[in-house]
């Protein structure tokens, strides 16, 4: 039933975005609908259930294909590898109920903004709008281009000028009403999902449906205790899951609820300004920021005044950020393009907090609503939690394949039972019941529950270690991580920087260095002026707050900052920031400096500047600070010292953070408005002032953790926004790059004029400052086999600009570079997430550890994103560590490995338990018998249920092994383990079954269970009971049953012990006290029941009395099985060396793309290239980098 894609029937929704969907149009047909309803009734709801699992079938059955324009149902399909389907009803919004102005039926647009999609979506004269709602976002049908368009945000095509002119004065009341109806309320509403809904969703899982069928069958056979056990287990499992989901739902609801009811002052064209609840805001509304602290209820663009915002909610970093108004310029470019990637400095994001506003002379600060509801930055974050990308992890798919495999075995059992019972001419009812019974025996109903418990325990252990997890199924994936990307500042190195020194420059020559801390204060001069005023610090609650780097720089001058609330002079009226020399500062020839205007810092521009004025003087000064390479390019070349690059390299190569300062006198004329100053014009022809050198120390935990990861053969990569040279030095000092390893710097350049794009490779000289790293990190000979000859003698390093060029023009080189790249510097947030994605394409399992600020996208993209943040905001990443260093990384990998191995062990155990029972039951059915109810109860509740609940309690092994656990269930060691143990079971039980018949005391029909000698009488009881209590004894009692029960029960205990492997990923089994004690107790109970010559026990268990010597024979068979099974599992199957030898023998090579590249590059004599330049071939395709939420903070 494959969809034939015709142009009108199918389209793409959210093209090229993360949540891209294919959309197909369908029309409901009456007669099809009637047939389906009849089908629901006739199948007793089974068809309805099938449609619930397969929504596309429901649409195909009820509807016919049509164009999207005529459709009343749309079918949606994700474009990722999972291709999941959902369907939505097309609804109509009726605008005719509004009291619209006269003449609205004419051709005049209803919404003043002519470009608005709303105008193109209104169907006239009916005044109706077609819409669908997908994942909380509303789309309306645009009649002009015949496609569904997202609604709830201002069009990106607006220019700076049009935003000021169309929306600067507010909307009309009528337009507000239309937009409210079409865009919906401005609220991020997350309902706390009712428990009954969660329950239904969980219970209708195909597995639980199969379980319900099993339960019905067992209950009909009178196996009440067994059914109750399964019911209890299922209730525990479903309860745990529902509780977990409900907790998450409540947490998310509480997180977003408070921002839905904020009071804002909205201005309309006709009625002036009035207070309004934020849920009534619409895109295009103009509201005032009147100085009160405000939690922003929407995304808005600032058009007048400036303000300071805490973006901790989105980024996890509580550093105040300054926002500036959108410039009023006559540019034909859309406003975002005009500001380039820096447009965020004008945008106030939903969920962030306005701490301070600075009005202009024209009145309070004003902003225009850009996006509302789930279209906002915060809404996007909440949606990514509500609709997470499915985790493509083999374990869950393999577990499903396993269940299917077991079902197939069950079907063979069913056929076998039917043949046996038909040949004995048994009633149809008995035949069907017994056949289904054997089918259900093969499939253990506890697999999903057992997998859940393993993850729940791991989550609990992580919580004790202060690592919190919002996506528990990712814990297992952590066990497969083999590459970790680290942010540098605040992650590998200390958060704060210490001021080390300043190297002033005069007359294009560097002067003597001024070290910090020093006994003499920094003398007054342009350098001191720059350090005192070129920052974005603010005084909040009598405390100076802001970027740690700015703070350290300002403290170095010993100047002080005026608090607005206490300042009384003229400057305070304009809300200008004033800095004055403090008592410890060197004397300055002025009272202070007023900072009039800021061009804020952004990671895109890598610089910031301020316009200031000395109090009591006429002239204005512009000070700039930023990345040295950038700042020097804005300076007049004659002011930049000739040895600038050499000096810069001297410090960066020692791991210092270097920032350049520059200055210029501005002459804008009298009474000019600073906010209308063009940044490009102001920031030109500057005088170079010197270099500010800051020390960024490694955290003390960094080095040992990176050594531990290297010893475990887990690659570490640094992805930072800092300077390349500094990053390389930090990587050397941290031990990421070992002593003696070469670093090859890659520099790629965009095509310029007729010259094509180029890529240059040059060797970096080793710095003197690097510290000797321990040698044992390099793979020793034994581990080299596992690494397949991976070498660690060279590393690539590059910056974000080169990365971008390589992606665009040298994409074929990218995998070769990534296999050995260790340092990525000056990376923008979008590039960070693109890099993670490229590593994943090479089949690396990528962990990303960052401090949450501009790593949001990468943290979400990685298999395991760990955010070092106190904030609840790190909802952007699956894991949050409240211990602010990278110790959490090996901790998480350890727990992941333990959880993964535990999951495998549980699935293996349950498979064997099912098959052990299956073999025993099949043998007994050969003579029309079955295990007794209490016999099943002991196996299912006393043994299996308890084993499943406690097997995963074993903790992770403290040392990381130099290899990973197998990543899939369907791998040779695991499959062989199951197959061989099943063979041992078949041999064991068949031997027992056949040998008992050979014994001299054996009789076919025995009714006597007393063990008193000479009292054994035979009575002819029919074995063909129907399984109810009256005839149950005869269908159970036999010497075969009495022999098979201990063989199968104790075999279950044996495999539980054998599969609970300790080292290298988990602690030894005896450290799991609960499990060890339970196994001992279970064994004791089984032996007691079997060896105790007590009539009450025998009659309850439906055993026959057998000679003691026979019982010892059975015990001997079990001991042999235990030894063989343990030997096979530990000495053969878990033997890493043996498998490596076999791989080498058969010439097996890993199929992972990164392994293939490693092997290929080892054979390539021309790799790595050193000191050469390559040119791009003509006509290479550009590759688009997926933009994510990018923050304008520094690394």
Comparing CA positions, the residue from 1194, 1063, 1192 lying closest to residue 352 is 1192
In whole angstroms, what is the distance from residue 547 CA to residue 549 CA? 5
Residue 13 DSSP SS3: strand
Q: How far from the centroid of its chain's Cα atoms is residue 294's Cα?
A: 30
Kindly provide the b/e burial profile for residues 534-551, where b requires at least 16 CB atoms within 10 angstroms of the residue's own CB: bbbbbbbeeebbbbbbbb
Comparing CA positions, the residue from 715, 738, 737 lying closest to residue 843 is 715
Report the number of secondary-structure helices (H) and strands (E) in the chain: 40, 42
The token pair that represents 1047 in the structure block? 């063989």
Partnered with residue 91 across adjacent β-strands are 131
Instruction: Judge residue 330's burial from the number of C-beta atoms within 10 Å of its C-beta, 0-12 exposed, 13-18 middle, 19 or more buried.
Output: exposed
In whole angstroms, what is the distance from residue 973 CA to residue 857 CA? 37
Comparing CA positions, the residue from 1172, 488, 534 lying closest to residue 854 is 488
Contact 381, 322 (CB under 8 A): no
Catalytic residue among 380, 487, 855, 1041: 487
Residues 6+ positions from 259 with CB-CB distance below 8 Å: 188, 278, 295, 296, 297, 350, 351, 378
Contact 151, 373 (CB under 8 A): no
In whole angstroms, what is the distance from residue 11 CA to residue 181 CA? 26
The string of DSSP letters for 272-341 reads: EEEEEEGGG--TT-EEEE-SS-EE-SSEEEEEESEEEEE-HHHHS---EEEE-PPP----SSBHHHHTGG
Residue 865 DSSP SS3: strand
Cα dihedral sign, 626-632-636-639: positive
Is the bond leading into 125 cis (omega within 30 degrees of zero)? yes
Other CB atoms within a 10 A radius of the CB of residue 1179 amount to 5
The token pair that represents 1034 in the structure block? 């005869």
Other CB atoms within a 10 A radius of the CB of residue 707 amount to 18
In whole angstroms, what is the distance from residue 36 CA to residue 41 CA? 9
Does the annotation mark 342 as catalytic? no
In whole angstroms, what is the distance from residue 226 CA to residue 231 CA? 9
Residue 457 DSSP SS3: helix
Sheet holding 147-150, edge to edge: 91-94, 128-134, 137-142, 147-150
The string of DSSP letters for 1063-1102 reads: TTTB--GGG-HHHHHHHHHHHHHHHHHHH---HHHHHHHT
Contact 805, 834 (CB under 8 A): no
Comparing CA positions, the residue from 202, 217, 204 lying closest to residue 441 is 217
Q: At what angle do helices 428-442 and 206-220 cross, to 10 degrees?
A: 140
CA dihedral (228, 232, 235, 236) in degrees, to 10, reads -170
Compute CA distances 923 → 363, 443, 994, whole Å: 90, 17, 10
Other CB atoms within a 10 A radius of the CB of residue 23 amount to 22
Residues known to be catalytic: 487
């Amino acid at each position: 039933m494959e969809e034939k894609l015709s142009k009108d029937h199918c389209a793409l929704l959210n093209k090229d975005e993360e949540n891209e969907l294919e959309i197909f149009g369908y029309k409901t047909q009456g007669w099809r609908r009637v047939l389906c309803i009849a089908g629901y009734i006739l199948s007793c709801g089974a068809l309805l259930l099938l449609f619930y699992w397969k929504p596309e079938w429901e649409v195909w059955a009820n509807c016919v294909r049509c164009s999207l324009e005529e459709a009343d149902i749309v079918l949606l399909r994700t474009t990722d590898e999972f291709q999941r389907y959902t369907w939505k009803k097309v609804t109509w919004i009726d605008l005719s109920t509004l009291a619209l102005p006269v003449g609205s039926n004419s051709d005049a647009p209803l919404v003043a903004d002519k470009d608005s999609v709303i105008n193109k979506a209104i169907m006239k004269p009916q005044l109706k709008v077609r819409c669908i709602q997908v994942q909380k976002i509303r789309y309306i049908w645009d009649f002009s281009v015949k496609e569904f368009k997202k609604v709830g945000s201002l069009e990106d095509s607006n220019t700076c000028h049009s935003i000021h002119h169309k929306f600067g004065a507010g909307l009309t009341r009528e337009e507000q009403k239309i937009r409210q109806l079409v865009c919906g309320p401005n609220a991020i509403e997350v309902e706390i999902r009712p428990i009954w809904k969660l329950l239904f969703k969980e219970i209708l899982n195909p597995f639980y449906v199969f379980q319900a069928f099993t339960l019905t069958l067992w209950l009909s056979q009178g196996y009440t205790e067994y059914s109750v056990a399964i019911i209890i287990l299922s209730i525990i499992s479903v309860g745990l899951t529902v509780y977990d989901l409900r907790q998450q739902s409540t947490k998310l609801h509480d997180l977003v609820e408070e921002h839905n009811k904020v009071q804002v002052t909205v201005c309309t064209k006709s009625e002036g300004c009035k207070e309004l609840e934020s849920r009534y805001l619409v895109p295009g509304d103009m509201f005032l920021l009147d100085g009160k602290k405000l939690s922003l209820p929407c995304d808005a663009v600032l058009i007048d005044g400036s303000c300071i915002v805490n973006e901790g909610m989105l980024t996890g970093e509580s550093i105040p950020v300054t926002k500036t108004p959108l410039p009023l310029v006559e540019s034909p470019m859309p406003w975002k393009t005009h500001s380039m990637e820096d447009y965020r400095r004008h945008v106030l994001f939903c969920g962030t907090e306005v701490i301070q506003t600075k009005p202009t002379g024209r009145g309070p600060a004003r902003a225009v609503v850009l996006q509302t509801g789930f279209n906002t930055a915060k809404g996007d974050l909440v949606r990514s939690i509500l609709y997470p990308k499915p985790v493509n992890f083999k374990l869950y798919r393999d577990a499903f394949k396993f269940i299917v495999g077991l079902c197939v075995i069950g079907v063979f059992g069913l056929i076998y039972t039917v043949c046996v019972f038909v040949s004995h001419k048994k009633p149809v009812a008995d035949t069907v019941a017994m056949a289904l019974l054997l089918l259900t025996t093969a499939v253990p109903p506890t697999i999903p529950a057992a997998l859940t418990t393993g993850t729940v325990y791991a989550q609990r252990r992580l919580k004790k270690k202060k690592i919190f997890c919002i996506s528990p199924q990712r814990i297992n994936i952590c066990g497969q991580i083999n590459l970790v990307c680290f942010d540098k500042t605040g992650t590998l190195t200390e958060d704060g920087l210490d001021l080390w020194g300043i190297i002033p420059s005069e007359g294009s020559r560097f002067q003597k260095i001024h070290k910090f801390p020093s006994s003499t204060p920094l003398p007054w001069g342009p350098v001191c002026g720059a350090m005192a005023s070129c920052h974005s610090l603010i005084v909040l609650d009598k405390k100076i707050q802001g970027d740690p780097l700015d703070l350290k720089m300002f403290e170095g001058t010993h100047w002080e900052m005026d608090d607005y609330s206490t300042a009384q002079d003229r400057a305070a009226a304009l809300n200008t920031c004033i800095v004055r020399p403090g008592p410890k500062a060197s004397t300055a020839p002025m009272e202070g400096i007023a900072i009039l205007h800021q061009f804020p810092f952004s990671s895109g521009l890598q610089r910031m500047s301020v316009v200031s004025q000395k109090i009591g003087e006429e002239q204005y000064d512009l000070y700039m600070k930023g990345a040295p390479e950038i700042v020097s390019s804005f300076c007049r070349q004659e002011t930049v010292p000739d040895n600038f690059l050499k000096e810069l390299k001297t410090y960066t190569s020692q791991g210092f953070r270097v920032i350049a300062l520059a200055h210029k006198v501005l002459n804008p004329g009298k009474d000019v408005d600073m906010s209308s100053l063009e940044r490009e014009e102001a920031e030109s022809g500057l005088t170079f002032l010197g270099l500010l050198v800051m020390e960024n120390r490694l955290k003390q935990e960094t080095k040992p953790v990176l050594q531990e990861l290297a010893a475990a053969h887990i690659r570490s990569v640094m992805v930072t926004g800092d300077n390349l040279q500094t990053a390389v030095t930090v990587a050397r000092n941290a031990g990421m790059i070992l002593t003696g390893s070469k670093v090859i710097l890659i520099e790629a350049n965009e095509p310029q004029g007729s010259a094509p794009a180029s890529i240059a490779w040059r060797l970096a000289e080793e710095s003197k400052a690097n510290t000797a790293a321990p040698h044992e990190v390099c793979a020793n000979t034994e581990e080299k086999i596992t690494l397949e000859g991976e070498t660690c003698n060279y590393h690539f390093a590059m910056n974000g600009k080169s990365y971008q060029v390589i992606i665009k023009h040298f994409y074929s080189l990218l995998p070769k570079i990534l296999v050995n790249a260790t340092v990525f510097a000056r990376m923008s947030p979008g590039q960070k997430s693109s890099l993670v994605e490229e590593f994943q394409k090479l089949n690396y399992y990528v962990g990303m550890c960052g401090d949450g600020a501009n790593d949001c996208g990468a943290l979400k993209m990685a298999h395991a994103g760990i955010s070092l943040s106190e904030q609840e905001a790190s909802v952007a990443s699956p894991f949050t560590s409240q211990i602010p260093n990278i110790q959490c990384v090996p901790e998480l990998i350890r727990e992941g490995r333990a959880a993964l191995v535990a999951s495998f062990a549980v699935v293996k155990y349950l498979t064997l338990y099912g098959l052990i029972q299956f073999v025993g039951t099949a043998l007994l059915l050969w003579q029309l018998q079955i295990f007794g109810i209490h016999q099943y109860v002991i196996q299912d509740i006393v043994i299996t249920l308890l084993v499943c609940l406690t097997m995963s309690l074993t903790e992770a092994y403290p040392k990381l092994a130099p290899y990973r656990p197998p990543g899939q269930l369907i791998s040779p060691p695991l499959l062989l383990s199951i197959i061989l143990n099943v063979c041992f079971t078949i041999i064991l039980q068949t031997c027992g079954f056949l040998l008992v018949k050979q014994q001299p005391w054996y009789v076919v029909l025995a009714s006597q269970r007393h063990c008193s000698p000479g009292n054994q009488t035979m009575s002819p009881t029919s074995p063909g009971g129907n399984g109810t209590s009256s005839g149950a004894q005869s269908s159970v009692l036999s010497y075969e049953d009495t022999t098979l029960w201990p063989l199968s029960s104790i075999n279950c205990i044996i495999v539980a012990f054998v599969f609970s492997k300790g080292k290298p990923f988990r602690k030894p089994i005896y450290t799991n006290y609960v499990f060890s004690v339970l196994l001992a107790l279970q064994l004791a109970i089984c032996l007691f029941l079997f060896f105790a010559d007590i009539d009450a026990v025998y009659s309850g268990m439906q055993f026959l009395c057998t000679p003691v010597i026979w019982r010892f024979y059975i015990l001997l068979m079990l001991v042999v099985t235990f030894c063989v099974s343990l030997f096979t599992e530990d000495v053969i199957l878990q033997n890493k060396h043996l498998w490596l030898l076999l791989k080498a023998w058969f010439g097996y090579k890993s199929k992972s793309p990164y392994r293939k590249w490693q092997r290929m590059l080892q054979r390539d004599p021309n790799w790595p290239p050193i000191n050469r330049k390559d040119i791009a071939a003509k006509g290479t395709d550009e590759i688009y980098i997926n933009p994510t939420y990018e923050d304008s903070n520094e690394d």
